[in-house]
Structure 1
Amino acid sequence: MTGTDTTTPADPVTPEAPTTAEPDTSAWGGRHVHDPTAVRDDDGTYWLFSTDARSDGPVRGGVQVRRSADLVTWDLHGWALPGVPGPAADWSGAAGLWAPEVVRVETAAGPLWRMYYSASTFGSRRSAIGLADAPHPAGPWTDRGIVVASEHVEPPAGLGHPNAIDANVVTEADGEQWLVYGSFFGGIHALPLDAATGLVADGLAAAPGALHAAPGRLLARRARAADGAVEGAFVLPRPGGGWALLVSYDSLADSYHLRAAVGDAVAGPFRDRAGRLMTDVDAEPWSVGVPVLAGHRHAGGPGILAPGHASVLTERVPAPGDGSLGRQLLVHHVRDADAPTEHRLQLRRLVWTHDGWPLVSPQPWAGVRREVDDPALWPVHAAVLDGTWEQLSPGADPTRVQDAVAGPLAWPHDVRAGVRALGGGRFAWTAADGAAVSAVVHPGWDAVRDRATLCLEALDDAGRVTLATRLP
């Protein structure tokens, strides 16, 4: 959920006061999903947690919970909590909960699932991140109180104090944990967590004044010219070492889009492909970060508006000789371009270039029966770059729904002469303008034509991204 300033138009999915009657959820499926995160339990069932939001009327509070056997068909399981827990409600005045983050931890008594939820109201910095836990993703969930809280205190200068929403928990190889959080206002920060308790490690009180004095490490911030619009952060390990940062830019209702950067440590600094810091507020606001997904429309298909607030589901699927992290899926929400208040769930394959940059498929995930997970079966010859491709450039103009353009890949026809095939669908070459290009080609499923196809994701060293679908 957004934390933009109070001059921004009202968020069309801000929860209203909860009603006493339970809504009819029988046909929801993946509709009304906002700010999603997905996990897999020990028996292989997938669980999805999302913001208390519905486009067509009031909704009860407590975090929506869905389940699926295949990541394609979803059923609403219910709500994790009976409403907004007392401490968070008293502080924030929230009627619903936003942007849950769910992680599994091992304890002496067995696995424990922790849920970090956000409580706030639209346009407010009086917010809190709370913690609940359960023995299983299905619950029962027990509230453990507020982890960090913030309030609106106008600083003497700058972009303000952090807003305590949009939690992301990051665990390093040695078990050290971080709470990555923040939205608009003061930007994205990281605080160390105590892995044993799930609370802030250095004893930082939940009182907002303490958070202002010690907000943690600054990871990303946007200039006032862009309303400070950065939120929904997710940090994940890179296959070759280091970390990647995914964040959402701009307006939740229309120009929302996803950008990436990389760094050596969870606490940053993070830089984009051109070397710009994600904290650079002096650069042109839309030049910072690698744009990896934005609004678009494939020929004959629906318009996808404002994709973002992404998390990543990582599964340890065997991939002989690949050395990657296994199957990874970007879990995010989109709006319908022809009905902008309607929001729903999408998943897309997340891939890594040979030099460790995350990119996402131009096509939604179609399920294991239609997808090919083993990179040993992905293309290995440069001839695969020939033919006609339907192409998107997510960085061209993220403020509009971009129509895909069909044609040969936008590099010289003789590019094959200089292409390096690196295995597992990975390729590299030098473009005509001298830019170094890293690309991934893999099997996918064309959602519009309902057929198997190939997908390409490419990034050059100027930060330009191409997403393409091979046409018949």
Structure 2
Amino acid sequence: MYVLASAVALLLHAYVVQGYADPGSCSGSCNVHDPALIRRESDGTYFRFSTGNDISYASASSIEGPWTAIGSVLPDGSSIDIAGYNDLWAPDVNLVDGVYYVYYSVSTFGSQESAVGLATSSTMELDSWTDLGRVGVDSYTGSAYNAIDGNLFLDGSTYYLQFGSFWGDIYQVELNSAATAVAGSSSQNIAYDSSGDHAEEGSFLYKYGDYYYLFYSAGICCGYDTSLPASGDEYKIKVCRSTTATGTFVDEDGVACTASGGTIVLESHDTVYGPGGQGIFTDPTLGPVLYYHYVDTTIGYADDQKLFGWNVIDFSSGWPVV
């Protein structure tokens, strides 16, 4: 019996390591794209931000919900003026010196005419947000990168913003001490897939123990209801790690993230399809949690049918396992 139980445990471990895990439960308003999660310390309320409706957001008493829609962060849109482009994407939420920051992207699908903006609030209540506009991360046709999917990370006293999508993939730039604007003009490439159309985006930097983990989404994110990607080309979540916040980031096999490296954390399986748009949240009860959006194939493949997913994530082996 012990041998059989051990064999089953090993099989289950292998199954999990390969990037398969069913999402935790979600109730209430669970349709999201590109979620971002934070917990208000004053009362323990969870807030979840997402793409669409000029950055939608919702609140709940726990990560499971029930999630209640609040409204829009910027109901009048962004002050960033890119002619014809007024779609706000991919929020990232942080608490900076007692103020809540939501970074967002202004772009349109498939274009490099993009910019990262910032809105702030001291409470996260509806109609409490102030739009500060551009932070200095912009891109244009012919740029090395696409300036979307901003993600803030504080290392010691230095703020870094990770960003980028397709083209040259993922970059990093240092911000000023208030995390409101780029400090200088230099940026560095921290992840790049040389194959195909360089489908990497949605980076999220997280420190656990001695390592800095660079999570990102790889593959085709959207439009599954009109055209499914070839098997394996759909969204999935990957990771590389480094002993410093600025890299070099490498995967579990030692391959650099800038040389097409990347270890799979979560991918399509069973009725879960195309997980991505992820982040990591340190829950006071559950510990580190991977959150993301995904398609439930029993419900539908449309972008507005994507669901909020989450899993506790284990770093004990040195590599994140859901």
Q: What TM-score range do you get, normalising by the shorter chain?
A: 0.7 to 0.9
Give aligned-pair identity as a percent.
31
Note the residue ranges of structure 1 that are not aligned, 5 or more in a row. 1-26, 53-60, 154-159, 205-213, 282-287, 298-302, 318-325, 361-472
Task: Identify the match of residue 328 of structure 1 among 266, 279, 288.
Answer: 288
Residues 197/71 of structure 1: CA separation in 2 closer, same or farther (3 Å cut)? closer
The offset of 1:94, in angstroms, is 2.5
Give the RMSD, CA atoms, in angstroms. Answer: 1.7
Q: How many aligned residue pairs are there?
A: 279
Aligned partners of 1:330, 1:83: CA distance in 2, in Å? Answer: 31
Aligned partners of 2:86, 2:183: CA distance in 1, in Å? Answer: 29
Do 2:78 and 2:86's aligned partners in 1 also have CA atoms closer than 8 Å?
A: no
Q: How does 1:168-317 map to 2 (within 5 A)?
A: 168-172=151-155, 174-202=156-184, 204=185, 214=186, 216-223=187-194, 225-239=195-209, 241-253=210-222, 255-281=234-260, 288-297=261-270, 303-317=271-285
Deviation per CA, 1:122-178: give whole Å up to 9, x if none.
Answer: 00000010011111122511111111211112xxxxxx6111100110111x22110
Aligned partners of 1:336, 1:316: CA distance in 2, in Å? Answer: 28
Larger radius of gyration: 1
Could you tell me which residue of structure 2 aligns to residue 340 of structure 1?
Answer: 301
Aligned partners of 1:104, 1:70: CA distance in 2, in Å? Answer: 18
The offset of 1:328, in angstroms, is 1.2
Aligned partners of 1:194, 1:261: CA distance in 2, in Å? Answer: 26
Aligned partners of 2:293, 2:197: CA distance in 1, in Å? Answer: 22
Deviation per CA, 1:301-352: give whole Å up to 9, x if none.
Answer: xx111001101111345xxxxxxxx701111000122411121111111111
Do 1:313 and 1:329's aligned partners in 2 also have CA atoms closer than 8 Å?
A: yes
> SS where residue 313 of structure 2 aligns?
strand
Aligned partners of 1:305, 1:218: CA distance in 2, in Å? Answer: 29
Aligned partners of 1:94, 1:261: CA distance in 2, in Å? Answer: 33
| 1:134 maps to amino acid | S
Residues 92/246 of structure 1: CA separation in 2 closer, same or farther (3 Å cut)? farther
Aligned partners of 1:197, 1:190: CA distance in 2, in Å? Answer: 13
Aligned partners of 1:129, 1:96: CA distance in 2, in Å? Answer: 12
Note the residue ranges of structure 2 that are not aligned, 5 or more in a row. 1-26, 223-228
> SS where residue 173 of structure 2 aligns?
strand
| 1:227 maps to amino acid | D
Larger RCO, structures 1/2 (Cα 8 Å, 6+ apart): 2
Do 2:159 and 2:179's aligned partners in 1 also have CA atoms closer than 8 Å?
A: no
The answer on 1:126 being equivalent to 2:113 is yes
Task: Identify the match of residue 54 of structure 2 among 38, 53, 62.
Answer: 62
| 1:78 maps to amino acid | G
Aligned partners of 1:197, 1:176: CA distance in 2, in Å? Answer: 9
Instruction: Point out 4+ residue stretches in structure 1 off by more than 3 angstroms.
Output: none
Do 1:116 and 1:130's aligned partners in 2 also have CA atoms closer than 8 Å?
A: yes
The answer on 1:167 being equivalent to 2:150 is yes
